[in-house]
Amino acid sequence: MNTYNIDFFITNSGTMDKLHAMEVFVAVAEEQGFNGAARRLRLSAPSVTRAVAALEKHLGIRLFSRTTRQVRTTEAGERYLEDAKRLLAGIQVAEESALGVNADPRGLLTVTAPVLFGRMFVTATIAQYLGTYPETTVNALFLDRVVSMMEEGVDVGIRIGPLPDSSLRAKRVGAVRHVICASPAYLQQAGTPQTPADLNKHQLISSSSGSFTHEWHFANTNPIRLTPRLVTSTNDAAIEAAVLNSGIVRCLSYQVEQHIASGALVRLLPSYEPEDQPVHILHREGGQFETPKVRAFIAMLETSLKNALPF
């Protein structure tokens, strides 16, 4: 742990004010702004600014670099942020331990997932969670990009695909796969591809969100570099274009499951589909630092996803 003058945490005078200042600092760092932190903490913007200024004066270091557009932690602030989160988490755990292991979840929970996945599978769990635990609030970040959970203050995330080495804890809850689809009307007009190489003769649709690439991978053959005729900024727009007979789309199986079931889209080249992509629940906490709010949400989400996804 980095060394700072933290004598004020064990004094009898002003302890709660200093802890409050640390909580404000963490909120500003995670929201990357004073106004965002004020909204999150339900404080006035000037009070947030004063708390951070007092903490910087006490520590004798500059915690943030500020411009008219953004607020970022300094190098010293980044080191202090890690320790501040650890200290505040320890205090929260101690309070919850005093209340007993069955203490009800409370406080803000931040969750992230890909856009369509979040809409289809996570929103219902969030609604159930909020209905079950009235002292909780949820910030749902549904984004088609890889979110840095540590930097963006995310408690629980959904990740599709192989996991890089990290300090995050992971629970596998299912799998999905990349599929190629087109509408019956398009195939009637343009013909049905029999091999991946045939795709070069077709109108292709792709999405620039997530891990965008013009190189499509298949089983039992080399990757094929293709040039889409239509590139959209979101997955749902690409899928909708395929439903409207604009060409062949490549996406994840869960994204088009309903369209395939209804007959709006036809699954193509199934024998060439690459291996399944694992779906994991990721979280930063574990062991003695796993809070009731995180533990309860993961339990709900794990049950829901295992029932909804193939394993």
Residue 53's domain spans which residues? Answer: 7-99
State what percent of residues in the chain have pLDDT above 90. 49
Q: Characterize 208-244 residue by residue with b for buried, 16 or more Cβ atoms within 10 angstroms of its Cβ, and e for exposed.
A: ebbeeeeebbbeeeeeeebebebebeebbebbbbbbe
Does residue 1 fall inside a structural domain? no
Find residue 171's DSSP bridge partners. 281
Does residue 2 fall inside a structural domain? no
- What would the pLDDT profile of 73-122 be if each residue is shown by its tens digit? 999 998 898 888 888 877 776 766 666 555 788 889 999 999 999 999 99
Does residue 120 fall inside a structural domain? yes
Amino acid present at 113: A
292 shares a domain with 162:
yes
**The pTM is what?**
0.69
* CATH number of the domain enclosing 65: 1.10.10.10
**Residue-averaged pLDDT of the chain:** 86
- What would the pLDDT profile of 254-286 be if each residue is shown by its tens digit? 999 999 999 999 999 999 999 999 999 999 765
Report residue 143: phi and psi, to 5°: -140, 140
Does residue 31 fall inside a structural domain? yes
265 shares a domain with 182:
yes
217 shares a domain with 194:
yes
CA-based nearest residue to 145, from 127, 118, 120, 109: 118
93 shares a domain with 233:
no
**pLDDT of amino acid 89:** 74
When divided into structural domains, the chain yields a total of: 3
261 shares a domain with 135:
no
User: How far apart, in whole angstroms, are the C-alpha atoms of residue 76 and residue 74?
Assistant: 5
* CATH number of the domain enclosing 217: 3.40.190.10
Among 45, 74, 99, the domain boundary falls at 99
Among 58, 80, 99, the domain boundary falls at 99
